[in-house]
């Protein structure tokens, strides 16, 4: 292309310099997260990404001398993002399951969890069986979604609405668009602690474990896992539990104890 003026040449130089600068400043790791998943990853009042897992991945990166860029991706899109290499790590209270291990890999677990059934406090429901025949909501592709599908013959839910995050589901629950919402219990407990219009009707024992998800054969996998072991041994991960949940984690939990990588 023939440039017609000095100003055109300067403009091209600025554009090229900007592009080169962006490449030079690219983060070592792009981390996918379903922002809005309190208290794991969400935005504070200033718009900054914060949360238990944001702190977790930033500390791993810091100890390994890596830089991080967090990008907002709906939960169900995190799996393809990892497999395609769009992101190196995905977080969002992702449960390690045998099915998921067929296509992706995880570092050692760092949080033990179950599902929960939450309803409005005005509801007369007091146990899981009170959800029989009711309309419920779940997060698309989540373990709560899997549980509902597996237990449909027993509970005969009249409708299952699927959401991309806890907040919109809870707003629909408050508006009466469904009877109950089934989701990870720690996220629900954190969300409703100052919202008396909701109540947890039942804890659903699913014995889940959360961790960082990454592609199979990722070169940084072994180092990431050993770094998490060090963070547990020094009490850093348990300190995160105190920060975000107000208490220490159980001594035998994956937040405190070093675990093998699940394969």
Q: Is 37 helix (H, G, I), strand (E, B) or coil?
A: strand
pLDDT at 18: 45
Continuous segment of H or E residues that includes residue 237: helix 236-245
- Alpha-carbon distance 32 to 69, whole Å? 9
pLDDT values of the chain reduced to their tens digit, one per residue, 263 residues:
444 455 554 444 444 444 434 444 689 999 999 999 999 999 999 999 999 999 999 999 999 999 999 999 999 999 999 999 999 999 999 999 999 999 999 999 999 999 999 999 999 999 999 999 999 999 999 999 999 999 999 999 999 999 998 999 999 999 999 999 999 999 999 999 999 999 999 999 999 999 999 999 999 999 999 999 999 999 999 999 999 998 999 999 999 999 999 98
Domain residue ranges of the chain, discontinuous segments joined by +: 27-110+211-245, 113-208
Q: Across-strand partners of 72?
A: 33
Rounded CA Rg of the chain: 21
pLDDT at 163: 95
Bond preceding residue 39 cis, omega within 30 of 0 = yes
pLDDT at 165: 86
pLDDT at 6: 53
CATH superfamily of the 27-110+211-245 domain: Periplasmic binding protein-like II (3.40.190.10)
Record the pTM.
Answer: 0.83
- Alpha-carbon distance 210 to 213, whole Å? 9
Structure tokens at 53: 């897992």
pLDDT at 206: 96
Q: Check for a shared fold between 27-110+211-245 and 113-208.
A: yes
113-208: CATH topology: D-Maltodextrin-Binding Protein; domain 2 (3.40.190)
Structure tokens at 220: 């940084």
């Amino acid at each position: 292309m023939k440039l017609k003026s000095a100003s055109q040449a300067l403009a091209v130089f600025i554009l090229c310099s900007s592009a080169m600068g962006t490449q030079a400043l690219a983060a070592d790791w792009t981390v996918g997260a379903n922002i809005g998943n309190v208290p794991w990853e969400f935005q504070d009042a200033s718009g900054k990404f914060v949360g238990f897992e944001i702190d977790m991945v930033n500390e791993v990166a810091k100890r390994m001398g890596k830089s991080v860029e967090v990008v907002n991706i709906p939960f169900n899109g995190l799996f393809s993002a990892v497999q395609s290499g769009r992101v190196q790590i995905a977080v969002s209270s992702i449960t390690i399951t045998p099915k998921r291990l067929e296509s992706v890999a995880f570092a050692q677990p760092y949080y033990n969890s179950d599902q929960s059934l939450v309803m409005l406090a005005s509801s007369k429901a007091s146990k899981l069986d009170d959800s029989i025949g009711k309309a419920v909501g779940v997060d698309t592709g989540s373990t709560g979604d899997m549980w509902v599908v597996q237990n449909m013959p027993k509970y005969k839910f009249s409708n299952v609405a699927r959401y991309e995050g806890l907040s919109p589901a809870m707003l629909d629950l408050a508006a009466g668009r469904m009877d109950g919402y089934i989701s990870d219990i720690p996220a629900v407990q954190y969300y409703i602690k100052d919202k008396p219009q909701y109540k947890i009707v039942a804890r659903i024992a699913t014995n889940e474990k959360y961790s960082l998800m990454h592609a199979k054969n990722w070169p940084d996998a072994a180092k990431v896992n050993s770094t998490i072991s060090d963070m547990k041994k020094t009490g850093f991960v348990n300190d995160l539990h105190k920060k975000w949940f107000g208490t220490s984690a159980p001594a035998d939990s994956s937040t405190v104890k070093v675990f093998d990588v699940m394969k």
